[in-house]
């Protein structure tokens, strides 16, 4: 009897009007005595990041799944809804432009916390992604060392600009000093210093990140505060 009630509630949540039904479903659960922990792992919007990337946890992490434009390579692929949206939206834009799927590696464990061999990746705000490589006849995304040729730098910069124009705020992109230097040289020479100043300030040199990019987003409330302050000043920033 109890299982029938749970599955009935699950079907209503999935196929009904989620906004209108959420309150009534919770009331039904509470009145029926069903453990709230069984409530479909809670609907989207109930994920939350706690603490720091190096000392934190994640509640109800959102799984970042493979799609037509994104390849999820890790079972530890849980993050906030914001980072999931950022990755899927950016991956789809890049796929439309290049035909290459974005490789996504470690994000966080479902509940966050310590995650070896990483020192961070603890609260659903960090993600490792592959590099874009541009050859004469192809573009791909994978892990590995990256060259400074102009074709590869061009598609890499398009990826960075797409991240920077998304509503989710970027706090850092950890990357090797040499890769950052090569990308900056390309942008300044080919596009202009103002372009680099607008999007490149989030790069943080990290020698261990030669084979992938490590992206860290702002906490949602922090990103909203930065956006509000930016609007007051009339300046464009990274969120």
Q: What is the pLDDT of residue 45?
A: 52
Strands 102-104 and 70-72: parallel
> What are the pLDDT digits (tens) for 203-223?
999 998 999 999 999 987 644
Instruction: Give backbone dihedrals phi and psi of 233, rounded to 5 degrees, phi first.
Output: -85, -15
Q: What is the pLDDT of residue 141?
A: 94
Q: What is the pLDDT of residue 34?
A: 32
Average model confidence (pLDDT) for the chain? 79
> What are the pLDDT digits (tens) for 156-200?
999 999 999 999 999 999 999 999 999 999 999 999 999 999 999
Q: Which domains does the chain have, with CATH numbers?
A: 2-38 (no CATH), 48-233 (3.30.1380.10)
Tokens in use for 146? 């990256």
Please count the other Cβ atoms lying within 10 Å of the Cβ belonging to residue 58. 26
Q: Are 35 and 101 in contact (CB under 8 A)?
A: no
- pLDDT tier, 13 (very low <50, low <70, confident <90, very high otherwise): very low
pTM exceeds cut of 0.75: no
Q: What is the pLDDT of residue 137?
A: 81
Return d(Cα 69, Cα 212) in angstroms, integer. 18
Q: What is the pLDDT of residue 6?
A: 31
Which has the higher per-residue pLDDT, 82 or 31? 82
- Please report the DSSP string for 7-74 in residue order: HHHHHHHHHS-HHHHHHHHHHHHHHHT--GGGSTT--TT--EEEEETTEEEEESPEE----SSEEE--
Q: Is 29 exposed, middle or buried (0-12, 13-18, 19+ CB in 10 A)?
A: middle
Helices 150-164 + 81-98 axis angle, to 10: 140
- pLDDT tier, 38 (very low <50, low <70, confident <90, very high otherwise): very low
> What are the pLDDT digits (tens) for 84-126?
999 999 999 999 999 999 999 999 999 888 888 888 898 999 9
Helices 2-15 + 18-32 axis angle, to 10: 170
User: How many alpha carbons lie under 13 Å from residue 3 in its C-beta half-sphere?
Assistant: 0
Q: What is the pLDDT of residue 138?
A: 87
CA angle 95, 123, 140 (to 5 degrees): 20
Return d(Cα 117, Cα 119) in angstroms, integer. 7
Please count the other Cβ atoms lying within 10 Å of the Cβ belonging to residue 209. 18
Residue 157: its H or E element: helix 150-164
């Amino acid at each position: 009897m109890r299982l029938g009630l749970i599955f009935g509630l699950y079907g209503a949540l999935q196929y009904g009007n989620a906004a209108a039904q959420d309150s009534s479903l919770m009331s039904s659960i509470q009145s029926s005595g069903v453990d709230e922990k069984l409530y479909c792992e809670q609907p989207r919007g109930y994920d939350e990041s706690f603490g720091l990337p190096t000392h934190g946890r994640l509640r109800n992490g959102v799984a970042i799944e493979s799609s037509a434009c994104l390849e999820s390579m890790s079972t530890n692929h849980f993050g906030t809804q914001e980072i999931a949206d950022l990755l899927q939206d950016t991956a789809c834009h890049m796929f439309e432009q290049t035909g290459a799927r974005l490789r996504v590696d470690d994000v966080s464990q479902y509940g966050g916390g310590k995650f070896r061999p990483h020192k961070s990746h603890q609260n659903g705000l960090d993600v490792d992604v592959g590099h874009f490589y541009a050859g004469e006849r192809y573009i791909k995304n994978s892990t590995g060392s990256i060259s400074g040729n102009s074709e590869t730098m061009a598609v890499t910069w398009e990826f960075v600009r797409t991240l920077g124009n998304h509503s989710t705020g970027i706090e850092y992109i950890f990357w090797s000093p040499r890769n950052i230097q090569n990308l900056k040289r390309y942008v300044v020479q080919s596009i202009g210093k103002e372009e680099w100043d607008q999007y490149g300030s989030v790069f943080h040199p990290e020698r261990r990140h030669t084979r992938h990019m490590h992206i860290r987003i702002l906490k949602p409330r922090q990103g909203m505060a930065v956006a509000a302050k930016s609007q007051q000043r009339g300046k464009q920033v990274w969120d």
